Amino acid sequence: MTVNSKMPNSKSTVTLPGSIRGFVERQATRPLEILFESPDPLFYPYCEYWRRAVAAMLLSGRIAAKDDGFPNMTDVNRICQEANFDQYLFEATGKFLVMAKIIRRSGRTSRYEPAKFGDAFWNRQLQPLQETARQAFLELVQHFTPSRVWRPTLAVSSRLDVLVALFATAFADLAIPWDQAGNVFLEFSQLPAPDLIDLGKQLGFKKRRSDRAGWGRWLDEPGQKALLSALSVSSWAYSTEHKKQTWIYLSDTARIILGLATPPELPVPVVDFKVLPNLCVLAGADLPPEKLVPLFRHCKIKRIDRVFELQLDKRQLTETTPQEPSVWNLREVLEESGPLPATADSLLRHRPLGGGEIRIRGCSAIVQPESAEVLDAIRQHSRLKGYLEVGAPKGYLLIKQQSNPSNFIQRCQELGFKATILQS
């Protein structure tokens, strides 16, 4: 059997060795053309608008990083509710971005910052993305493998990505039942070594006879689960329902990252950017992070799509700006879209009250005299003024923290002032 690794963008045509061909034919597979009436066109890997939105949200500082570097799910749930975004997809994407070193926890703080492959991600550079995504896949296998399970090596040395590449070639355009997938991977990995090596050679992988034994050790039951989870989180495999059964198939993303298919042309970048008078900000998903991150930090997220829809909101600005004066940064960013409408200009000019200074001082009681004359008399009285704290609000008197309010009341009565305690 001769297969194209992916029609019509295949790099080359490979011939499946006999044992592999026989193995594929024995499996209960479904061609993708049966599962999907009109298959989606080839996507450029890791440049979907929602993935960029997740990265921008993580970098915005509205989601804390946990000690293990993954996002705090309480924050994730809150922001996903606001943005009407699937929190499970967010969680998976966040994990992938961390594992792929696109973002990382900043030192010992709970903030995220761009990591080594941040630029490659934002600028859609395929080669570094291929490098980091393969590494991330292996790290994810390690992450999903229970710590009590012993393995002779770390996942990064397991070459499971090579196994996935061989598998993807053998099962090109075919889906397999989800509940059998782990076992099919295991059995596939134990096919005759020469045939696997031959297929690997055709795909350009280095010959290593030891792989077969290593894969077998990694693909016990917990290992199979870890492999499937890693495939899913890194978007290397998708599942779909057909006739009451769940099917899994390897994605174009996996094929492109593993070098089995040539990527399509880079899609036209969506870089529209507008601030509207109704305080709505429209920002294309392909704008650089310097623009997107402040927007996601200071605006309400209304819609995650190829053009993000955000809303300038006074309450949100008040909550986010006291921690840093970056509302001015936001203003600079917004001004790049053109002259600001009066409504937006006014909102950004407004100094958020949340950033004001708060001075707290203790007192033992607050006194409301019945008139300005009485207040003045008490303040001037030589035997009463010692009880009073300075800086009381207009119309009120404050009793010093160390003074006893009962003594003050008693003394007032002795001096002829009528005093009543309103609330103890």
Partner 1 sequence: MSASRSENPFIVQSDHTVLVEVDSPRYVEGRDALARFAELVKSPEHVHTYRITPLSIWNARAAGVTVEWIREKMRGLSKYDVPRHVEIEIAEYAARYGKLKLTRDHRGLVLSLSAAVLAEELVRHQTVALLLGQRIGSQDFLVEPAERGRLKQSLIRVGYPVEDLAGYREGEQLEIILRSETRGGLSFHLRDYQREAAETFYAAGTARGGSGVIVLPCGAGKTIVGLACMARLQTSTLVLTTSVTATRQWSAELLDKTTLPGEAIGEYSGHTKDIRPVTIATYNILTWRRDRTDRFAHLELFDQRDWGLIIYDEVHLLPAPVFQVTAGLQARRRLGLTATLVREDGREDDVFALIGPKKVDMPWKELERQGWIASARCHEVRVAMPEPLRMDYAVAFARDRFRIAAENPRKKDIVREILAYHPDAQTLIIGMYVEQLRELADELEVPLLTGATRQSRRDELFTQFKAGSIRLLAVSKVANFAVDLPDASVAIQVSGTFGSRQEEAQRLGRILRPKPGENQAHFYTLVSQDTVEQDFALKRQLFLCEQGYQYEIHDIEQMRQKKLAEQSCPKLPFPTNNGVNQ
Q: Which residue ranges make up the site for partner 1 (CB under 8 A)?
A: 38, 40-41, 267-268, 270, 272, 274, 276-280, 282, 303, 305-307, 314-315, 341-343, 345-346, 353, 393-395
Q: Can you say how many angstroms the Cα of residue 344 is from the centroid of all Cα atoms in its chain? A: 28
Question: What residues contact 283, with CB distance under 8 A and at least 6 apart?
Answer: 272, 273, 291, 292, 295, 307, 308, 310
Output the smallest distance, CB 285 to partner 1, in A.
Answer: 10
Nearer to partner 1, 244 or 394 (CB): 394
Nearer to partner 1, 56 or 197 (CB): 56
- How many other β-carbons are positioned within 10 Å of the β-carbon of residue 276? 15
- Residue 39's nearest CA partner among 9, 14, 1, 15 is 9
Nearer to partner 1, 206 or 315 (CB): 315
In what helix (H) or strand (E) does residue 170 lie, and over which residues does it extend?
A: helix 160-170
Q: Are 238 and 228 in contact (CB under 8 A)?
A: no
Nearer to partner 1, 41 or 391 (CB): 41
Strands (E), 262-401: 273-275, 280-284, 299-303, 307-312, 365-367, 388-389, 397-399
Q: Which residue reads 């008197």 in tokens?
A: 397
- Residue 140's nearest CA partner among 188, 80, 99 is 99
190's tokens: 């134990």
Q: Which residue reads 């996002």 in tokens?
A: 71
Nearer to partner 1, 174 or 347 (CB): 347
Q: Are 103 and 70 in contact (CB under 8 A)?
A: no
Output the smallest distance, CB 393 to partner 1, in A.
Answer: 7
Nearer to partner 1, 215 or 273 (CB): 273
Output the smallest distance, CB 277 to partner 1, in A.
Answer: 5
Nearer to partner 1, 164 or 299 (CB): 299
Nearer to partner 1, 152 or 269 (CB): 269
Output the smallest distance, CB 337 to partner 1, in A.
Answer: 10
Which of left, alpha, beta for 183 (phi over 0: left; psi -120 to 50: alpha)? alpha
Output the smallest distance, CB 80 to partner 1, in A.
Answer: 16
Q: What are phi and psi of 267, to 5 degrees?
A: -65, 155
| Torsion angle of C-alpha atoms 412, 413, 419, 424, degrees rounded to 10 | 80
Output the smallest distance, CB 288 to partner 1, in A.
Answer: 18
Output the smallest distance, CB 73 to partner 1, in A.
Answer: 25
Instruction: Decide: helix, strand or coil at residue 261.
Output: strand
Nearer to partner 1, 276 or 384 (CB): 276
Q: Are 237 and 231 in contact (CB under 8 A)?
A: yes
Output the smallest distance, CB 390 to partner 1, in A.
Answer: 18
Output the smallest distance, CB 46 to partner 1, in A.
Answer: 18
Q: What are phi and psi of 186, to 5 degrees?
A: -60, -50
